[in-house]
Amino acid sequence: MDSLPSFPSTFLWGVSTASYQIEGAANEDGRGRSIWDTFSHAPGRTRDGDTGDVACDHYHRWPEDVALLGDLGVGAYRFSIAWPRIQPDGAGPANPKGLDFYDRLVDELVARGITPVPTLFHWDLPQTLEDAGGWLNRDTSYRFAEYAAVVADRLGDRVGRWITLNEPIVHMAQGYAFGTHAPGRELMFDALPVAHHQLLGHGLAVRALRAGGASEVMITNNCTPVLPASDSEADQTAAAIYDGFHNRLFLDPVLIGEYPPLVGPPDDAPYVHDGDREIIATPLDALGINYYNPTRVAAAPDGSPLPFEMLPIEGVPTTAFGWPVVPGGLRDLLVGLRDRYATALPPIYITESGCSTADEVTPEGRIHDTARIDYLDGHLRALHEAIGAGVDVRGYFVWSLLDNFEWAEGYHQRFGLVRVDYDTQLRTPKDSFSWLRAALRAQS
Ligand code: FCB
């Protein structure tokens, strides 16, 4: 395989994880219950009834995991903070042991020269807040800002870069509209206040983080290039609506201060208060983008509850999850965002990119995950093309360091550069780990 083209010398290379997917220790040191504890323990919600009770046991094994980061040679580590560890009921004074855990983690990262990039909310909402309405309740936005201030107060002397929310579209759609993720509500279009309250919480948190000394604050959105299935007007309209929900609903209000047409809250929505738009549009220092694949969209068949239908993308490889592998989609997405938002688009970090593979362990204990190497190689080349086309991209984070709890799929999808044996918690770097380490060395 040819070596990768050169990225800018200041480019930030990293890997990503999330608290509920790796930490385990669900009942330790005063951690409160999260919506994912409730959801994963409810019958039939996750594959094989898998839960994050133990996950990768990262809460106890974090020194070993940070050592893996050091061995890999990344400059940054994106992890998320479990709100229920900090405020077990989502409000009020901090749980000191929860803060201590992230404090030690940050210290160790900094000692190794690895930039910590914490995400404040990667879907594990305190259950107490959900019981009061979750993100349907405006109060959750204010609780989120308080939590942001508490964390910044403790970590802000060593952490400058922050991410407020992870993929608010996925949390709204899967968690509140379709019910396939926690909290498992099936509100369909009545889930829209969840978009507004997450965005309001984001804007308030940006202000709280800045007040706490943050130097670079971003939101991470899951974005996808939308491919209309045909030139027909019906398919084009369906594609525009899908693009509105998936991409624009959480970008337009943040970057240009307006909800997109067709999909935003109606003008008379009672949950949109005077002044909210200004808070949501508080200027950002950067934008996090998670990219996995493009989406092909057609007009919905008669009788569908949705105004669009997703179709498979033919003629491309798929991951173990069945997701289409289209590296050029990353370039097209980034160039498209630059064209759409122009000077309103801040510098971008790719905060997740990766694939699940059907790994086998050889008798020698090796994992030859060549599909992941091909995936990363292709996406990094496409990213380089986007940078060459003038898009200001400052970093790339692989999802994920470790195999982990993949939400409703439980432990069935393996996204890690490092294999985790869930019986023994043995970590085994895969071939992709060695490939990435060599690629990073060649960049420096
Ligand atoms: C993203 C999530 C992340 C992980 C990957 C595969 O949508 O942010 O936690 O599950 O997908």
Question: What is residue 306's DSSP assignment?
Answer: S
- Decide if 252 is inside a domain: yes
Quick check: 348 pLDDT over 90? yes
Domain for residue 2, yes or no? no
Instruction: Say how many domains are in the chain.
Output: 1
- Per-residue pLDDT, averaged over 199-219, amounts to 98
Q: Is 23 a catalytic residue?
A: no
Atom of ligand 1 nearest to the CA of 167: 8
Q: What is the pLDDT of residue 278?
A: 98
pLDDT given at position 444: 87
Q: How far apart are CA 79 and CA 120, in angstroms?
A: 9
Question: Left, alpha or beta for 109 (phi > 0: left; psi -120 to 50: alpha)?
Answer: alpha
Q: What gap in Å lies between CA 14 and CA 303, rounded to an integer?
A: 45
Ligand 1 lined by 406 (C-beta under 6 Å): yes
Coil, strand, or helix at residue 424?
coil
Bond into 294 cis (ω within 30): no
- CATH classification of the domain holding 240: 3.20.20.80
The answer as to whether 338 is a domain residue is: yes
Residues in the chain: 444
Tokens, residue 207: 């202000």
What is the CA 241 to chain-centroid distance, rounded?
22
Sign, Cα dihedral of 220, 204, 92, 191: negative
Q: Over the chain, what is the mean pLDDT? A: 98
Question: What single-letter amino acid sits at 139?
Answer: D
Which of 19, 47, 50, 167 is the pocket-test mutation for ligand 1 (most atoms within 8 Å of CB)? 167
> What letter would DSSP give residue 246?
I
Global model pTM greater than 0.95:
yes
> What are the tokens at 305?
């509850």
Judge whether 7 lies within some domain.
no
- Is the CB–ligand 1 distance for residue 289 below 6 Å? no
Q: What pLDDT does 405 receive?
A: 99
d(C-alpha 173, C-alpha 306), whole Å: 12
183-208 average pLDDT score: 98
Burial of 274 from C-beta contacts in 10 A (0-12 / 13-18 / 19+): exposed
Estimate to the nearest angstrom the gap between the alpha carbon of 123 and the chain centroid: 9
CA pair distance 340, 320, nearest whole angstrom? 33
DSSP bridge pairs for 418: 402, 429
Residue 1 covered by a domain: no
Question: Is 4 a member of any domain?
Answer: no
Measured CA to CA, the distance from residue 399 to residue 108 in angstroms comes to 21
Residue-number span of the structural domain to which 304 is assigned? 12-443
**Quick one: residue 324, left, alpha or beta (phi over 0 = left, psi -120 to 50 = alpha)?**
beta
6 part of a folded domain: no
Catalytic residue among 108, 130, 352, 406: 352
- State the Cα–Cα distance between residues 278 and 307, nearest whole angstrom: 30
For 379-411, the DSSP string reads HHHHHHHHHHTT--EEEEEEE-SB----GGGGG
Q: How far apart are CA 115 and CA 118, in angstroms?
A: 10
pLDDT digit string, tens, across residues 254-312: 999 999 999 999 999 999 999 999 999 999 999 999 999 999 999 999 999 999 999 99
- For residue 135, how many other CB atoms are within 10 A of its CB? 27
- Ligand 1 binding pocket includes 20 (Cβ within 6 Å): no
Spacing, Cα 200 to ligand 1 middle (Å): 22
In degrees, rounded to 5, the angle at the alpha carbon of residue 12 between the alpha carbons of residues 10 and 18 is 165
Q: Indicate if ligand 1 lies below 6 Å from the C-beta of 399.
A: yes
pLDDT at 385: 98
Element (H, E) at 222: strand 216-222
Q: Is residue 62 part of a domain?
A: yes
Q: What is the pLDDT of residues 417-431, one digit of tens each?
A: 999 999 999 999 999
Q: Specify the pLDDT at position 72.
A: 98
Q: Are strands 161-166 and 226-228 parallel, antiparallel or unpaired?
A: unpaired
Atom of ligand 1 nearest to the CA of 415: 6
Retrieve residue 32's tokens. Answer: 């409160």
**Cα–Cα distance, 72 to 417 (Å, whole number):** 10
Q: What distance in Å separates the CA atoms of residue 309 and residue 146, rounded to the nearest whole number?
A: 39
Output the residue whose Cα is nearest ligand 1's atom 4.
406
Instruction: Please return the burial class of 21, using the count of CB atoms within 10 Å of its CB with bins 0-12, 13-18 and 19+.
Output: buried
Per the residue annotation, which of 167, 216, 233, 309 is the catalytic one?
Answer: 167
CA–CA gap between residue 216 and residue 143 (Å, rounded):
22
d(CA 235, CA 247): 17
Given a cut of 90, whether residue 1 has pLDDT beyond it is no
What is the 17 CA–ligand 1 centroid distance (Å)? Answer: 9
Tens digit of each residue's pLDDT (9 = 90 or more) over 36-76: 999 999 999 999 999 999 999 999 999 999 999 999 999 99
Question: Could you identify the residue written with the tokens 């965005």?
Answer: 199
pLDDT tier at 30, thresholds 50, 70, 90: very high
**Of 321, 318, 319, nearest to 406 (Cα)?**
321
Question: Tokens in use for 251?
Answer: 């970008």
Asked if 167 is an active-site residue, the reply is: yes
Using CA atoms, how far apart are residues 70 and 56, in angstroms rounded to an integer?
A: 18
